Amino acid sequence: MIQSLFNSPLLFVLSILGLVVAITVHEFAHALAADHLGDPTPRSQGRLSLNPLSHLDPLGTVMLILAGFGWGKPVQFDPYNLEHPQRDTGLISLAGPASNLVLAVLLGFLFKTLPAGFASLLLPLIYTNIILAVFNLVPVYPLDGEKILSSLLPKHLSFEYQSIMRQYGTLILIFLILPIYGGSSAISQLISPVISLILNLII
């Protein structure tokens, strides 16, 4: 992404802005869901905020600028404060991707009402929110999809799945992200059709 700073400074700024907004909304939604379901941990840690500084991870932010791929600080919550720990963990995890999709849809409505020149400025933000949502729904630790799938499985299968993911999930994710044939990653080939479908539906 850093190359675009010299080739297209406006696109670079819009892309960074889109990532910051998408990550902030995503993590805030996790915190809001946990707070609503009875866990005060995110509120006590100052995560119930739309201030990007509350959610951006220093290393993740640097990676945003250098590589166009980064992450925010994970929202911590205590399952013991939840009335239905397995179900509510899934709902908290789902809140992040869902918030990005809702924001993308709202921006899509705005995109259709603005003149073409202004509307095009919204595309990086719409696209980034869709990517973040779909990527996080992949059921591999430490992504949200792993917790969502775990919440839907019977308890004994959920425990086994989580145990495997905690041991090998990060390695699996790294393997999925690494470029393979033609410079494209396995995860890109998996989620790109879904991203394109959602983008076409929205705009």
The predicted model scores a pTM of: 0.90
3-state helix, strand, coil in the chain (%, to 5): 75, 0, 20
Q: Which two tokens stand for residue 135?
A: 């990527």
Of the candidates 27, 83, 146, 160, the residue annotated as catalytic is 27
- CA 181 remoteness from chain centre: 26
97 is in which domain, residue-wise? 4-202
Question: 């609503």: which residue's tokens?
Answer: 36
Question: 């889109």: which residue's tokens?
Answer: 18
Q: Looking at the 3D structure of the chain, how many domains does it have?
A: 1
Give the tens place of pLDDT for each residue, 87-117.
999 999 999 999 999 999 999 999 999 888 8
Q: Is 27 a known active-site residue?
A: yes
Give the tens place of pLDDT for each residue, 147-190.
999 999 999 999 999 999 999 999 999 888 888 766 778 888 88
Given a contact cutoff of 8 angstroms between Cβ atoms, the answer to whether 141 and 170 are in contact is yes
Long-range contacts of 161-168 (CB under 8 A, 24+ apart): 165/140, 165/141, 166/141
Question: 């973040």: which residue's tokens?
Answer: 132
